[in-house]
Amino acid sequence: MLQADLLESISETKYLSAEHYTVYRTIMRIFYLEHQKMRYQMDRDGVLALLRTQPLFAQYSPEQLTLDLQQLVKWKNLTPIQDPRKPRTIAEFKNRQFQYMMSQAALEVERMTITLEHLSTRAAGLSASPFRRIRADLRRVETLDELPLREVQAWWEDLQEDFQRLSQNHQDYLREFYGPGMEMQMKSVDFITYKQHLVRYLEEFIQDLQRSAAQIGAQLEQFTPEQTAHILDLVERSEREIPRPQAERAPGWEGELHSRCQGVWQSLLDWFTGPNPTARQVLNVTNEVIRRVVQNAALLVQMENMGVSNKAELKHLLTLFAGMPSVEEAHRLSALVFGVQQVRHFACSVPRETERVDLSPYDEPPAELLLQPRTRTYRPRMDRTGFADKSAEKAAQRQKILAEEEALRREVTSHIRDGVLDLAALEKPVSPQVRTVFLSWIVEANLSPDHRGRTQYGQSFRLKKRGKGTCRMVCTDGTLTMPDCVLLFEEDGHG
């Protein structure tokens, strides 16, 4: 999880883009070069002497240097250390001298600038040596308990460096094949001679990757969770044993150490083990690079061959045509050499009588196809016909509907006895259509303030509830439980 205080601006990098960055960068580079010579502290006069060896700073004054050094101290690039000698006079106290030393953050910033300066000249390559060293480091895990913590810490650093070198080298090398410079190089004619050596180099790396990745993955999978926890515990103990006189251990640094060690080990597992390890992705990218290289080389060879003169071939064809005894024979030779001059292809989806491939089209029966003009204003002719007389069909359908309605009315009214429809005392099960009619009557009466309604057959009725109980209406498709009620008709229910 990212912490808010880690995302603040870095004051140690401000000198790289400040207004007088040339002066600041020169001073910091001098400090860095002297630090490489184990001259960790310098005073103002020593810095000024080294600055004036550069033609750009020949007129540089001590006062200007003092202001620039103070600004670098403010940005935490330099740490001032007062001269331990006691002043003997007031003038010496006012003009007291300081020794300046680079901070740890400033050292890392300068290392980063040097890395960026040599980025274009740094040569990346694909080597199998990191695989061998990682295998050897993992084999030493069994002896970690017998080693002192200092050697455990050295083993862990070697493993991290080898893994980092492996990851960084293949990323830097393969990234070059996707840049604009490599695209232009692949299109040059000189790339043809370079192609064979490059493909052989990549194929050897693929062989090493396939062999080593499987072996390292098997080694990592042999470690149980308990063994992994024990290994990382030894590594953390070795890190805590290192005395750091200038390092201030911030709160929670042990948790960060544990998280960092866990992350390095998990990265190893993700690289070599699992269903989709990073090693397989590297293998796929390398194969894709080989495919692009071979494809571009083939295109270049093809482009070169296009410019080859075919004068001898044309002369031979002219000799053949000159020796033809007739024009008809010359036409046959032309059809053989140049193909048919005027070709018209017809395709249709007419079903064939047979699927034989050796059957000539002339041996099959012809198919008739209706062709239409290719004009925008063309419209197919419409055949004008009169309307068909469907009065008899409509009359028959009407009689059928009326008969069905009459049958439904008779079945409904047959359940009414002496002007009363008692849903709980029906003599026989009712059909779903009759049940729908009864329920529609009950709904209509419930919606009326006086609980009255009229059927679709012109009969008036009144809804009467018998308490708060329920009754069961037997139907042909089941039994309906509903409130106990009856319908009282004011006229004869049979109509």
Query: Distance (Å, rounded) from C-alpha 43 to C-alpha 97?
Result: 7
Please tell me the least confidently modeled range out of 11-15, 147-151, 161-165, 168-172: 168-172
| pLDDT tier for residue 94 given thresholds of 50, 70 and 90 | low
Q: Is residue 232 in a domain?
A: yes
Rounded mean pLDDT, 210-226:
85
Cβ atoms of residues 69 and 78 within 8 Å: yes
Of residues 202 and 436, which shows the higher confidence score?
A: 436
Q: Is residue 398 in a domain?
A: no
Cβ atoms of residues 442 and 483 within 8 Å: no
Domain count, the chain: 4
pLDDT at 53: 87
Containing H/E element for 464? Answer: strand 460-475
Cβ atoms of residues 419 and 455 within 8 Å: no
Same domain assignment for residues 294 and 177: yes
Q: Which of 79, 243, 227 is nearest to 150 (CA)?
A: 243
Contacts of 304 (CB under 8 A, 6+ apart): 189
- Position 57 pLDDT exceeds 70: yes
Q: How many CB atoms lie within 10 A of CB 395?
A: 10
pLDDT at 309: 58
Q: Is residue 363 in a domain?
A: no
Q: Is residue 18 in a domain?
A: yes
Contacts of 67 (CB under 8 A, 6+ apart): none
Residue 454, classed as helix, strand or coil, is strand
164-to-271, 395, 494 alpha-carbon distances in Å:
11, 92, 99
Model-level pTM?
0.44
Tokens of 466: 């018998």
- Position 92 pLDDT exceeds 70: no
> Which of the listed residues 86, 117, 148 is the one where a domain comes to its end?
117
Query: Distance (Å, rounded) from C-alpha 328 to C-alpha 306?
Result: 33
Cβ atoms of residues 445 and 461 within 8 Å: yes
**pLDDT-above-90 percentage for the chain:** 3
DSSP string, 304-334: HHHTS--HHHHHHHHHHHHT-SSHHHHHHHH
Same domain assignment for residues 174 and 226: yes
- In one-letter notation, the amino acid at residue 122 is R
Cβ atoms of residues 203 and 290 within 8 Å: yes
Rounded mean pLDDT, 310-317:
81
How is residue 4 annotated by DSSP?
G
pLDDT at 493: 44
Same domain assignment for residues 322 and 296: no
* Tens digits of residue pLDDT in 394-431: 888 999 999 988 888 888 888 888 888 888 888 888 88
- Position 459 pLDDT exceeds 80: yes
| pLDDT tier for residue 223 given thresholds of 50, 70 and 90 | confident
Same domain assignment for residues 297 and 324: no
Rounded mean pLDDT, 73-100:
73
Q: Is residue 342 in a domain?
A: no
| pLDDT tier for residue 495 given thresholds of 50, 70 and 90 | very low
- According to DSSP, the residues that pair with 101 across neighbouring strands are 41, 79
| pLDDT tier for residue 7 given thresholds of 50, 70 and 90 | low
Which range has highest mean pLDDT (168-172, 247-251, 372-376)? 372-376
Please tell me the least confidently modeled range out of 43-52, 143-152, 346-355: 346-355
Contacts of 484 (CB under 8 A, 6+ apart): 424, 465, 466, 467, 469, 470, 471
Containing H/E element for 55? Answer: none
pLDDT at 86: 58
* Tens digits of residue pLDDT in 430-444: 888 888 888 898 888
Specify the CATH number for the domain of residue 65: 1.10.10.10
Domain that holds residue 59: 4-117
pLDDT at 180: 59
**pLDDT-above-70 percentage for the chain:** 83
- Position 120 pLDDT exceeds 60: no
Q: Is residue 237 in a domain?
A: yes
> Which of the listed residues 117, 151, 179 is the one where a domain comes to its end?
117
- Position 357 pLDDT exceeds 70: yes
The size of the chain, in residues, is 495
> Which of the listed residues 68, 89, 117 is the one where a domain comes to its end?
117
Query: Distance (Å, rounded) from C-alpha 221 to C-alpha 455?
Result: 83
Same domain assignment for residues 155 and 229: yes
Cβ atoms of residues 51 and 26 within 8 Å: yes
Q: Is residue 409 in a domain?
A: no
Rounded mean pLDDT, 265-289:
83
The Cα angle at residue 130 between residues 124 and 134, in degrees rounded to 5: 155
Q: Is residue 134 in a domain?
A: yes
Q: Which of 4, 14, 241 is nearest to 105 (CA)?
A: 14
Same domain assignment for residues 216 and 295: yes
The Cα angle at residue 296 between residues 203 and 301, in degrees rounded to 5: 110
Same domain assignment for residues 203 and 325: no
* Tens digits of residue pLDDT in 254-270: 777 788 888 888 888 88
Rounded mean pLDDT, 453-481:
87
Query: Distance (Å, rounded) from C-alpha 77 to C-alpha 15?
Result: 9
Same domain assignment for residues 164 and 270: yes
pLDDT at 494: 44
Rounded mean pLDDT, 309-329:
86
Residue 68, classed as helix, strand or coil, is helix
Same domain assignment for residues 268 and 157: yes
Of residues 59 and 344, which shows the higher confidence score?
A: 59
Residue 417, classed as helix, strand or coil, is strand
Cβ atoms of residues 432 and 475 within 8 Å: yes
Same domain assignment for residues 108 and 141: no
Same domain assignment for residues 37 and 174: no
Same domain assignment for residues 92 and 31: yes
- In one-letter notation, the amino acid at residue 411 is E
| pLDDT tier for residue 90 given thresholds of 50, 70 and 90 | low
Chain mean pLDDT for the chain: 80
